[in-house]
Amino acid sequence: MTVPVVAANAVSRTFVMPAGAVHALRGVSLSVQPGEYVSVVGPSGCGKSTLLHLLGCIDVPTAGSVLVDDIDVSTLSDSARSALRLRRIGFVFQRFFLLPMLSAWENVELPQAEAGVSRAERRQRTRELLEYVGLSARASHRPAELSGGEMQRVAIARALANRPGLLLADEPTGELDQATGAQIVSLFDRLNADGTALVVVTHDPEVAARASRSVRMRDGEIVEETTRPCC
Amino acid sequence: MRRALAFAWLRLRREPGRMLLGVIGVTAIGALLFDMLLLSNGLLVSFRERLDRSGFDVRVIASESAVIAGPPIDHVSAKLTELGRKPSIAAVQRVRVASADVADHPSTRHLAVAGVDLGAPVPWTLLEGAPPNAQASPAPLVINRNFARTFHLTVGSPVVLNGRCGDASRPLPLDATVAGVAEFQNDAADALTAATSSQAVAALCGERGDLADMLLVQSNPAAGGPDAAAAAIRAAFPALHALTNEQIVERFSRVEFSYFRQLSSVLTTVTLFFGLLLITVLLTVSVNQQLGEIAALRALGLSRARVMAGVLCESALFIGLGGIAAVPIGGLLSRWLDAILRSMPGIPADARFFVFTLHALEVHAALLVIGAVLAAVYPMRLVATLPIAATLRREVVS
């Protein structure tokens, strides 16, 4: 049996607010296999992003467990979780969050440098990634000099820098027009075809439809799972 | 840490306005800090240098309460003879200071006249003329430059002094000849100073006693140096107070110069506080402007220690660059301030308030290192406690 790249087992997440506790997730279980493409859809506030944050080890569940490559994340220290994220998980955000003072090349190179990749390897990998996302010609440009779609493509290249087995994307087309969003979706298709597991949180039905499995959430629970028989 | 430093340096280079603001601020504050450190010890170091330059390493006085001017020492000749026999003492000089003015001259300014044994080592450096001969008549007078300039005197000029000292009914005019122009220890820039034989000063003041205000002693380095000489003097004359240069400096440090140290300590603390405040504000504003990016970097796998190191390195770069630039600027500023302070009346011409020492540089560097860490504490805490998921959520919502 294949080990899932990430598995959430009956995870709950409760936020304690001044007005009272908010139960963002209630006993959700979700397993993502290597190379799988999963979309998570549902209305605002249903817990999609919270689930993504738990899968990405940037938040911890109030109850239940998250396993990345069969490792229970709750047993890891903060620095071990950081190391796990650095090497095994890539993140793409709605608002890109590129470092404004760095060029596209430097943004992509940064996670590799942090992972201790040699300069020569970094150069090679960064060149490949920028070619992959079609931005070789914009390598020396800073985020302020790029369009929204270009910024998101740089952010995807950055997320892939250390060859993660899992890419998590939170509303990756949320800030983009339809045509640009379609480019990003095509890029995700290509990424998935090349073997990267993807979990994409989206409001966009067209983005969700590209996934091999779609998970619908409501009020902190998974209410429906649809699998596309064939890609 | 190396990566954090390289990244911090890159960030600062790419944000020249912020870097300039921080570095210029630290340079200005660092220059003041450096000057305070030079001032805190400068007068003492300068005082010690002046004592050592005099060639005498033990001073003997009659009263412990006053190092410079106190009651006179009596029966000086006998004491000099006895001290001269001590193996730890190489030479002894007596000094009797009197006040006088120049006869038949419109200037009402008094001059200080030192009476010494002209055959012993003297506490001045001759610039013109020849060493005075004790047997010469009229009395040989060594004068400072200011005296020569004010009264238009040169070597060989005759001068008549009226004593303003001792018993007012006894002073007699003293006929003297300028034997030389010299530089005297502790002379203020505007001082009128002269020296002659102790006999001439006694005559000038109408004194019959064998008196001195102070004995200056050169110790014998081969026989235990100044400590041994001072001990021998105390043993021979328990009523006298023998102080080595070291002891005089220590006493001044404890009493007379402690005000300077306290003043500079207060100013150093205030200066350092403003430096810390500037860098803390710059770093905190920068961190707050980039919470989303920092949370994203944490999500991408940068550790908590790594983002904290980034903030610390930025602080270190601001304070390091500003602190280095502060040294030459503080040095130039101290020369200007020193000139202002030295122009105050009564300050010895060779006294210095701001003296560069390696120790001051080391303290400056140490304070800056501590400052860099302290300035980074709050912004480091901000990034260390940043909740990644909540920050990303908040940034998207905002």
Residue B397 has pLDDT above 80, yes or no: no
Residue B395 has pLDDT above 90, yes or no: no
In a domain, B188, yes or no: yes
Which of A26-35, B101-110, B296-305 is least confident? B101-110
pLDDT tens figures, A94-128: 888 899 989 999 999 999 999 999 999 999 999 99
pLDDT of residue B74: 87
pLDDT band at A218 (very low <50, low <70, confident <90, very high): very high
pLDDT band at B69 (very low <50, low <70, confident <90, very high): low
> Which range marks the domain in which residue B82 is found?
63-239
Q: What residues of A are in contact with residue B304 (Cβ under 8 Å)?
A: 78-79, 82
Mean pLDDT of A23-47: 92
Query: Which residue in chain A is spatially nearest to B299 when comparing CA positions?
Result: A58
In a domain, B251, yes or no: no
> Is the Cβ of A101 closer than 8 Å to some Cβ of chain B?
yes
Residues B220 and B322 in one domain: no
Contact state of A93 with B396 under an 8 Å Cβ cutoff = yes
Residue B66 has pLDDT above 60, yes or no: no
d(CA B269, CA B262): 11
Contact state of A94 with B292 under an 8 Å Cβ cutoff = no
In a domain, B245, yes or no: no
Q: Report the domain count for chain B.
A: 2
Query: Which residue in chain A is spatially nearest to B295 when comparing CA positions?
Result: A97
- Following DSSP, what letter does each residue of B293-344 receive, concatenated? HHHHHHHTT--HHHHHHHHHHHHHHHHHHHHHHHHHHHHHHHHHHHHHHHTS
**Between B170 and B175, the higher pLDDT residue:** B175
Mean pLDDT of A201-222: 90
Residues B178 and B149 in one domain: yes
Q: What residues of B are in contact with residue A78 (Cβ under 8 Å)?
A: 303-304
Mean pLDDT of B160-177: 75
Residue B317 has pLDDT above 80, yes or no: yes
Q: Nearest CB to A86: which of B300, B305, B388?
A: B300
Residues B198 and B142 in one domain: yes
In a domain, B247, yes or no: no
In a domain, B56, yes or no: no
Sheet holding A63-68, edge to edge: A20-32, A6-17, A63-68, A71-72
> Is the Cβ of A164 closer than 8 Å to some Cβ of chain B?
no
Question: What part of A 169-188 touches B (C-beta under 8 Å)?
Answer: 170-171
Contact state of A86 with B302 under an 8 Å Cβ cutoff = yes
Predicted TM-score (pTM) of this structure: 0.74
Q: What residues of B are in contact with residue A91 (Cβ under 8 Å)?
A: 296, 299-300
Q: Nearest CB to A85: which of B293, B300, B393?
A: B300
Residues B8 and B100 in one domain: no
Final residue belonging to a domain, choices B210, B239, B268: B239
Final residue belonging to a domain, choices B207, B239, B271: B239
> Is the Cβ of A80 closer than 8 Å to some Cβ of chain B?
no
pLDDT band at B65 (very low <50, low <70, confident <90, very high): low
CB A31 within 8 Å of CB A64: no
pLDDT of residue B331: 93
Residues B10 and B123 in one domain: no
Final residue belonging to a domain, choices B205, B239, B273: B239
Residues B116 and B89 in one domain: yes
**DSSP H helices in A29-132:** 48-55, 78-88, 104-114, 119-132
pLDDT band at B166 (very low <50, low <70, confident <90, very high): low
Query: Any idea how long chain B is?
Result: 398
Q: Nearest CB to B301: which of A95, A114, A171?
A: A114
Contact state of B301 with A159 under an 8 Å Cβ cutoff = no
Strand partners, A30: A8
Measure in Å the smallest separation between the Cα of A226 and chain B Cα atoms: 27
Residues B213 and B332 in one domain: no
In a domain, B250, yes or no: no
Q: What angle do CA A42, A45, A51 make, to 5 degrees?
A: 75
d(CA B226, CA B220): 7
pLDDT tens figures, B6-64: 888 988 888 888 889 889 989 999 999 999 888 888 888 888 888 888 889 999 988 87
Measure in Å the smallest separation between the Cα of B356 and chain A Cα atoms: 41
Residues B31 and B78 in one domain: no
CB B11 within 8 Å of CB A101: yes
Contact state of A170 with B306 under an 8 Å Cβ cutoff = no
Mean pLDDT of B81-100: 90
Q: What residues of B are in contact with residue A93 (Cβ under 8 Å)?
A: 296, 299, 392, 396
Residue B168 has pLDDT above 80, yes or no: no
Please name the residues in contact with B63: beta carbons below 8 A apart, sequence gap of 6 or more.
B70, B71, B241
CB B79 within 8 Å of CB B209: no
Mean pLDDT of A18-36: 91
Q: Tell me, what DSSP letter sits at residue B48?
A: H
Residues B381 and B302 in one domain: yes
Residue A39 has pLDDT above 90, yes or no: yes
Which of A227-231, B286-290, B306-310, B374-378 is least confident? A227-231
> Is the Cβ of A3 closer than 8 Å to some Cβ of chain B?
no
Residues B80 and B181 in one domain: yes
pLDDT of residue A104: 95
pLDDT of residue B167: 60
In a domain, B332, yes or no: yes
Which burial class, exposed, middle or buried, applies to A107 when counting CB atoms under 10 A from its CB (0-12, 13-18, 19+)?
A: buried
Residues B68 and B188 in one domain: yes
Sheet holding A213-218, edge to edge: A89-92, A166-170, A197-201, A37-41, A213-218, A221-227
Contact state of B303 with A94 under an 8 Å Cβ cutoff = no
Which of B182-191, B192-201, B253-262 is least confident? B253-262
In a domain, B129, yes or no: yes
pLDDT of residue B162: 84
pLDDT of residue B103: 78
pLDDT of residue B258: 78
Residues B298 and B389 in one domain: yes
Pairing of strands A213-218, A221-227: antiparallel
Q: What residues of A are in contact with residue B2 (Cβ under 8 Å)?
A: none
pLDDT tens figures, B107-121: 667 888 999 998 888
**Between B207 and A189, the higher pLDDT residue:** A189
Domains and CATH numbers, chain A: 6-227 (3.40.50.300)
